[in-house]
């Protein structure tokens, strides 16, 4: 007898992650947000996928795991820019920059600030 796999609901995971995050359980929340991001991407809900990557990055940041946080914020930014969520992408880049600052990676801070300025300039030109 094969058990049918229970379909995971990204919206429920999203809410569970928020609850865990709000209660300071960042490690558990991060893992749930990553699972939700994966599920959202599978159904082509890229906005919520970028949001979940961002939230997972925030959890890693709160845990002072700046390497993981940077990676998650950059993934969120890349997906955001690929799907046209440029303002959200800028926020993710700003958080990645803060992670680089926390790790004292001055060159990465400058590179990231340059990219943020370029994107903001592009956004201003589109208005």
Cα separation of 73 and 9, whole Å?
A: 23
Residue 88's domain comprises 10-125
pLDDT in tens, 35-89: 999 999 999 999 999 999 999 999 999 999 999 999 999 999 999 999 999 999 9
Cα separation of 109 and 96, whole Å?
A: 8
Cα separation of 64 and 74, whole Å?
A: 16
Residue 3 φ/ψ, nearest 5 degrees:
-85, 135
Banded model confidence at residue 126, pLDDT cuts 50, 70, 90: confident
CATH code for position 74: 1.25.40.10
Residue 4, domain member (yes or no): no
What pLDDT score was predicted for residue 5?
44
Residue 28, domain member (yes or no): yes
Task: Give the list of residues 6+ apart from residue 100 with CB closer than 8 angstroms, or none.
Answer: 66, 70, 108, 109, 112
Structural domain count, the chain: 1
Cα first-last separation, the chain:
60
């Amino acid at each position: 007898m094969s058990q049918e796999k229970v379909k995971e609901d990204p919206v429920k995971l999203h809410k569970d992650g928020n609850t865990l995050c709000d209660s300071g359980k960042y490690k558990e929340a991060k893992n749930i947000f990553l699972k939700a991001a994966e599920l959202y991407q599978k159904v082509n809900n890229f906005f919520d996928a970028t949001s979940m990557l961002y939230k997972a990055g925030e959890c890693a940041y709160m845990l002072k795991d700046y390497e993981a946080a940077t990676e998650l914020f950059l993934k969120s930014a890349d997906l955001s820019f690929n799907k046209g969520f440029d303002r959200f992408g800028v926020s993710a880049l700003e958080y990645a920059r803060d992670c680089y600052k926390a790790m004292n990676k001055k060159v990465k801070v400058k590179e990231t600030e340059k990219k943020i300025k370029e994107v903001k300039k592009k956004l201003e030109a589109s208005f």
